[in-house]
Amino acid sequence: MDATTPQPRPCWIAGHPEQGTQAITVSHPYDGTEVASVAVPGPDQVERAVAAAAAVAKEFRRTPAHVRAEALLQVSRALAERAEEVAETITAENGKPLKWANTEVTRAVATFRFAAEEARRFTGDLQRLDTDVTGEGRLALVRRVPRGPVLAVAPFNFPLNLVAHKVAPALAVGAPVVVKPASATPLSALLLGELLAETDLPEGAFSVLPVRGGDMKNLVADERLPVISFTGSTSVGWSLTDAAPRKHMLMELGSNSAAIVCPDWPDLDRAATRIATFGNYQAGQSCIAVQRVLVHRDVAEEFVPKLVAAVRALRTGDPHDPEVEVGPLIDEDNARRVEEWVAEAVDGGARLHVGGGRSGASVEPTVVQDVPATAKLWREEVFGPVLAVSVVESLDEAFEQANATDYGLQAGVFTRDVAVAFRAAAELEVGGVIIGDVPSYRADQMPYGGVKGSGTGREGVRSAMEDFTEERTMVLTDITL
C-alpha cells in the first residue's frame, strides 16, 4: 500500500481502532461500486479482544447503573446527531432504500435510549419465603447478573439496529460484547464502534471484529465467550449451536410469515397496501416480511387485484432516491436464487400476476398465486420481494396453511372479530400475532422472537437483558416481615 492509498476503515480491538492483517472490500449491491475497504483483524488481534473482554467482565458488571446508562444515552444522542450520515452508510453497504435506512437509524436511536432506561431499573426481585412454616423469618433477594461476555453475530439486513439489539442490552447489564458484523455490511457496526469509543466505557467492554473463516470458528468455540447471540439464517444458526453445545445460545432465525385476510375485514385497500409494502420494503430481506397471503374466498375476487395493483405501484430503482421503496437484494447470487424459485413455482402451475424479472441484484416485486405446497417458494424462507397468494375456504384452512411451515416467527390477521383474534393467537404456531396489520417492525421494547425453526431467543431490549443474565439468590434469615 503506497502513501496515496487510503487505509481501510479500522476494526475496534478492546475499544481502540486498529488496522488489520487483511482487508475486505464492501461493494454497493445496487451497482457493484466499491464503497469502502475494511480492516480484517488477525488472530493475535482477535485474541486480544477476547482476552480484554474476559479480563474486564467482573469489573464491568459492578459498574454503577448510572454510568452504563449514561454511556448508552450518549450513543443514542450521537446516532441522532449523525443520522443522515449513518443512513447513507446503511444504504451504501446494504442497498436498503434510504427511506427505510432512515427508519432503521431512528430505531437504533430508540434502542439505545430504551437500554439506557432499562439499565437504571434492572434491579431484580424480592421473594418472601414464609409461605411455608419452614420459611418463617426468611426473605430471598433475587438478582440478575451477567452470564459473561457476549459474542454478538449480526446479519446484513439490519446492519445497524440488529447490532444495536445485541450491543445495547449487553452493555446495559454490564456484559462485555464482541461484535462480529456480517461480512457484506460491516460499516454500520464499525461506525457504532466509533461512537462507543467516545464514551467512558472501560477498555474491553466492546470490540468490533469483521472476521471470517477460522477466526469466526474460534470465537464460537472460545469458552471465554459463554453467550452467543446470533441473528441470521436457520442453517448457520443451528450449525453454531452444534459447534458450541454447552454455551448459552440465543438464536433469531428464519421465517415464512403469513398474512390472513378474513371476510369481515372492512378495508381491503389498506390490507393490500400494508401487505404489499411490508412484503417488499427491504426487497423482502426481513425475517418479518410477509411471504404468504391467505385470503378468504368471500373477499378474494376483490382483494387479489387490489394487492397486485399495490405491488405494481411500488417505486423501485436507486435506493439513494428518497422515493424508492424497493431496492436490490444484498447480492446477485441471492437475486438469482429468488428468480429461480419464482420460475420453479410458475413451472409447477402457479399463476404469475406481476413481477418475476431480475436485473443484476434487483428482483421485481412479485405476486404469484396457487403456488404448489411442495415448491421452495411456499415451504422455505424466500428472503426476497415475493408474495405467494392462496385462496382459502375457511379460517380453519387458513390457520392450517399458516402453520404448515418449519418456521414460526410472526403472522398478521386482518379481522375485526375479537373471537377470531383470540383464536388466531391461540392456534397460530408463531411467536407473535398482529391483529389488523402485518408484521412490519420489531418493537424494541417488547419480547420479539419465534417458535419452531425461527429460533430460541428474544430480541427486545428488556428480554435480551434477561437472556444475557442469570438469576442469583441470597436468602436472609431472622427477618421480620
Which of 224-228, 286-290, 371-375, 450-454 shows the lowest mean pLDDT across its residues? Answer: 450-454
pLDDT of 2 > 60? The answer is no
**CATH 3.40.309.10 segments of the chain:** 257-444
User: Which one from 104, 252, 364, 459 is the annotated catalytic residue?
Assistant: 252
Phi, psi dihedral angles at 377 (to 5 degrees): -60, -25
Which of 191-200, 233-242, 361-370, 391-400 shows the lowest mean pLDDT across its residues? Answer: 233-242
Which residue, chain included where needed, has cell 436498503? 96
* Ramachandran bin of 62, using left for φ above 0, alpha for ψ from -120 to 50, beta for the remaining angles: alpha
Q: Which cell is 53 given?
A: 473482554
pLDDT tens, residue by residue, 356-370: 999 999 999 999 999
Q: Please state which CATH number belongs to domain 11-252.
A: 3.40.605.10
Report the DSSP pairing between strands 248-252 and 257-261. Answer: unpaired
Which of 62-66, 196-200, 251-255, 395-399 shows the lowest mean pLDDT across its residues? Answer: 251-255
Q: What is the pLDDT of residue 455?
A: 67
Told to judge if 287 belongs to the known catalytic residues of this protein, a careful annotator would answer yes
Distance CA 153, CA 237 (A): 10
CATH architecture for residues 257-444:
3-Layer(aba) Sandwich (3.40)
Which is higher by pLDDT, 378 or 287? 378
User: Which one from 11, 93, 104, 287 is the annotated catalytic residue?
Assistant: 287
Please, which pLDDT band fits residue 446 given cuts at 50, 70 and 90? low
pLDDT of 129 > 80? The answer is yes
pLDDT of 214 > 90? The answer is no
Count of residues making up the chain = 481
Q: Which has the closest alpha carbon to 149: 77, 204, 68, 78?
A: 204
Q: What is the pLDDT of residue 322?
A: 94
pLDDT of 4 > 50? The answer is no
Please, which pLDDT band fits residue 380 given cuts at 50, 70 and 90? very high
Q: What is the pLDDT of residue 1?
A: 38
E strand intervals along 297-452: 351-354, 358-359, 362-363, 366-369, 386-392, 407-408, 410-414, 432-435, 451-452
Report the DSSP pairing between strands 469-476 and 34-40. Answer: unpaired
pLDDT tens, residue by residue, 47-78: 999 999 999 999 999 999 999 999 999 999 99
pLDDT tens, residue by residue, 322-342: 999 999 999 999 999 999 999
317-320 CB contacts, 8 Å cutoff, 24+ apart: 318/30, 319/30, 319/91, 319/95, 319/96, 319/97, 319/98, 319/101, 320/88, 320/91, 320/98
pLDDT of 420 > 70? The answer is yes
The sign of the dihedral angle between the CA atoms of 474, 478, 480, 481 is positive
Q: pTM of the entire structure?
A: 0.94
Q: What is the pLDDT of residue 254?
A: 86
Q: What is the pLDDT of residue 234?
A: 86
